[in-house]
Homo-oligomer: A and B are copies of this chain.
Amino acid sequence: MKTSFAAALRGLCLCAAAVAIGGCATGPTDSADALTGPLSIAQQGSFFVGGRDVHSDTLSTVPNYANSGTVTVDQMYVHYQVPTHAKPLSLTLIHGCCLTGKTWETTPDGRMGWDEYFVRHGFPTYVIDQADRGRSAPDIETVNAVKLGKAPVSQLPGLFAASHEAAWAIFRFGPEYPQRFPGEQFPIDAQNGLWQQMVPDWIASLPTPNPTVPALSQLAQKLHGTVLISHSQAGIYPFQTAALSTQGIAGIVAIEPAECPSATADLTPYTKMPILVLFGDYVNLSPRWAPRLKACRAFVDAATQAGGHVQLVMLPDVGIHGNTHMMMQDRNSLQVADWILNWIGTHVGTPTMTAGS
């Protein structure tokens, strides 16, 4: 394992081993070039992974639709694009709390999203909607069972919608709504475009691990080598996926994970692929994020000691300042994307060379 991983690193790029910023021959092409001109797509489309059939007698509380029958739930929607002259390594984008795959598309102020930017850099790119979110159907049986008097109110699912005011602090636009951190990069004038993309979250009513996790495992195996790029609440999913099977996981990029694996867990799966845990700015000013960062540091230290190639990077430490939790939508989002692509180019082998694939 170690040998092939080292070979992959040697075969790739001789940038500084630790944290490379730009200047790497295998890094992305110049941003300006990548942003202009027609986008040439070899293949695009969508499909679902996973799901299970459930028979229910509480499917409907409206006329004309039957109460009893079979529905499919817990599947995961995947939209993908493969550019012409694609690299063999693909990227899988896994959105966070209260959001959908829209997270990675056009920014609230109308700039190119990472979904297209990564395709323009040659990566087959897969964007998911988590199970029970967005185009992946949630299971409404229990809501109907309560309405029909077949179940007590206490069985209603635990749901939440993050408010603008709560999201403001969670996304670190500032200490609290509507104050801003100095130098903060979110395009705040277009905030409505973010509020429009937030959706209710059924996660508290779902099993652990979230059905998204086995679906990600199926997807990774289908792709024969993909970097699982997660955000926020989904931060733990790539790790849980790797714990199920390392097959098909060429690397993990956890962007501001709400949770890292425990430092005292079995860390063996996390020694099988390069891992980046990435945080933005103002983290220690946030009572929500500071302890999460601390826990992730403990994981990274332990996984490194266990022989893993695991890094935790704070963007300000590599000269990129002002990033919020929504760094894929910040005004400098493509600068952050370039940095991540350089990290991938430096640290992740091609699928055939990657340990665990």
Residues of A within 8 A of B (CB): 38-42, 44-48, 51, 53, 56, 59-62, 65-66, 68-72, 75, 77, 79, 84, 100-102, 105-106, 110, 112-113, 116, 129, 134-135, 137-138, 140-141, 143-144, 146-147, 149, 153-154, 156-166, 192-193, 195-200, 204
Contact = CB atoms under 8 A, between A and B. Distances in A.
A121 to B, nearest CB: 15
Nearest to A77: B102
A196 B156 contact: no
A84 B38 contact: yes
A160 B41 contact: no
A48 B53 CA distance: 32
- Secondary structure class of chain A's binding surface, majority of residues: mixed
For A40, A68, A77, A160, the residue with the greatest tally of chain B CB atoms inside 10 Å of its CB is A160
Q: How many copies does the complex hold?
A: 2
Nearest to A200: B140
Nearest to A197: B48
24 contacts: A38-B41, A39-B40, A45-B105, A45-B113, A46-B106, A48-B197, A53-B195, A56-B161, A60-B161, A61-B159, A62-B204, A66-B165, A69-B164, A69-B165, A71-B161, A72-B192, A101-B135, A102-B135, A137-B161, A140-B160, A140-B161, A141-B161, A143-B156, A144-B159
A337 to B, nearest CB: 15
A46 to B, nearest CB: 4
B159 A48 contact: no
Given A72-B192, A116-B44, A143-B143, A199 B66 contact: no
A197 B156 CA distance: 24
Contacts of A59: 160-163
Contacts of A62: 158-160, 204
Contacts of A60: 159-161
B156 A147 contact: yes
